[in-house]
Amino acid sequence: MRVGFIGLGLMGSGMTNNLQKAGHQLVLHDLRREAAEKLIANGAEWAASPRDVAASAEVVFTSLPGPPEFEAVAAGRNGLIEGMQRGQALFDLSTNSPTVIRRLHKLFADKGAHLLDSPVSGGPAGAASGKMALWISGDEPSYSKYRPVIDAMGDQIFYMGDVGAASVAKLVHNLAGYMVNTALAECFTMGVKAGVDPLLLWKAVRQGANGRRRTFDTLAEHFLPNHYDPARFALKLAHKDVSLATQVGKEMGVPMRLANLTLEEMTEALGRGWQARDSRSSMILQAERAGVKIAVDPEDLRAILRADSNS
């Protein structure tokens, strides 16, 4: 296919290389023409503006730093929307704002074109190797039509439904990772200041129950099915463990902001009379505050985990 692509940075350069290797004819644009020179030498075409990319390609992909850059490329002067044809699709690979995506989706829909948010996860190495996840939401017929192009960029493709859903999923993924990093920094500084060698500490904890699990898989045990009884590990015992850890932090003079907040959550859960419920029952408090009801069919969760274990 004739594939338009805008944004040839660390991520875009890897993805366009894979698209070209897969035999697609590329129409390229970037702030720096030199970023496209190698691809052009191998047969890609250069377009002078985003508008020209849209006018010259069957389908368009963008990989940009964020919402302001995407909005300028998509709907600014000489933007993609000026060159899009009825039925044409734009897949935004950026980590974007779902609010911006949904607003611009309406503008493209008014022209009969389709905007799909398609954020990726895998970093520059994944973009170069093709070992990368793509979360896609928006017009499903467009997703199906251009799936062969998408398959050239990643090996884990997930269709998420209505436009904006994929951007939300990407933000959940990234936010969780950075929050975990912050928590790990707090825990490890406490451990090191309490006298444990950091290498030995890391070697030890990565072989514990939490270290051996995929981060998000634990959600399937209690939080997603909304099932906390019988307890795998009682809340009252977990509260004791966190209390001991925060006490070490106090003794060592280590700030423990997240740990103290965690202890407050668990204490509030104890106040509900949940001592014998599973230790993760304190997660119910956040669901209540958010005003959401989460109760996924356990069999659906088990099917996903089984599929992963067999792949």
Q: Which of 262, 236, 260 is nearest to 248 (CA)?
A: 260
CA–CA separation, 240 and 256 (whole Å): 16
Contact indicator for 22, 50 with CB cutoff of 8 Å: no
Catalytic positions are 170
Smallest Cα–Cα separation from 114: which of 75, 136, 86? 86
The closest of 86, 62, 79, 67 to 4, measured between CA atoms, is 62
Is the CB of residue 119 less than 8 Å from the CB of residue 174?
Answer: no
Say which residues have a Cβ less than 8 Å from residue 14's Cβ, sequence separation at least 6.
124, 126, 127, 128, 129
Alpha helices (H) in the chain, listed in sequence order: 10-21, 37-41, 50-56, 67-75, 80-83, 98-110, 123-129, 140-145, 147-151, 165-193, 198-205, 235-252, 257-271, 283-290, 298-310
Distance of CA 108 to the CA centre of its chain: 24
Q: Distance between CA 129 and CA 241 in Å, rounded?
A: 42
Instruction: Give the whole-angstrom CA distance, residue 172 versus residue 290.
Output: 15
E strand or H helix at 60: strand 59-62
Residues 3 and 26 sit within 8 Å (Cβ to Cβ):
yes
Tell whether omega for the bond before 230 is within 30 degrees of 0, i.e. cis. Answer: yes
Residue 2 phi, psi dihedral angles, 5° rounding: -85, 110
